[in-house]
Amino acid sequence: MACDCEDLRKIMALLAGAAQHNDLAEWEEYGVLFAEDAVMHVFGRDYVGREAIVAFTARRHIGKHMLSTPIIEIEGERAKVTVDHSFFRYPDLVLFGVGVYKDDLVKLDGEWRFARREIVVHGHHAEMTAAAKQTVTPIGDTIN
């Protein structure tokens, strides 16, 4: 089934909006991007409902999210999205975590919302700190 460009635009805006509202600690704006009964799965736990998702997210570190180009599959009023992310913690903008968002979206009243977000963490602060302390010279520094 073909989708229109407006659906793609709205889904891209949803992804960007979630990152930006999170980065700015705009919790009301962040929360409305999720369906009322949405589920966030992270660190082996489910946070069920918009309130629980916002409460979990609001107590995390504040920083800057960077997203890759997403893979988007739209099927009518539902969509699946996979997007890589990296997170740089404020105030020093140190790389704090990397991973993948696996999202199930639903179109409600013409607007796309998160129905389920799974956050797969490939590395976070301890691993990032260890990598930063490596004594290996980066390849770019070895070229004469």
Q: What is the pLDDT along the chain (144 residues), one digit of tens a residue?
A: 456 789 999 999 999 999 999 999 999 999 999 999 999 999 899 999 999 999 999 988 889 999 999 999 999 999 999 999 999 988 888 888 899 999 999 999 999 999 999 999 886 655 544 445 555 554 444 444
pLDDT of residue 139: 47
What global pTM score does this model have? 0.83
Q: Is 44 helix (H, G, I), strand (E, B) or coil?
A: coil
Domain ranges of the chain: 5-133
What is the distance between the alpha carbons of residues 143 and 127, in angstroms, rounded to a whole number? 27
CATH 2.10.109.10 fits 5-133, yes or no: no
pLDDT at 90: 86
Query: Who's near 90: CB < 8 A, 6+ residues apart?
Result: 61, 62, 63, 64
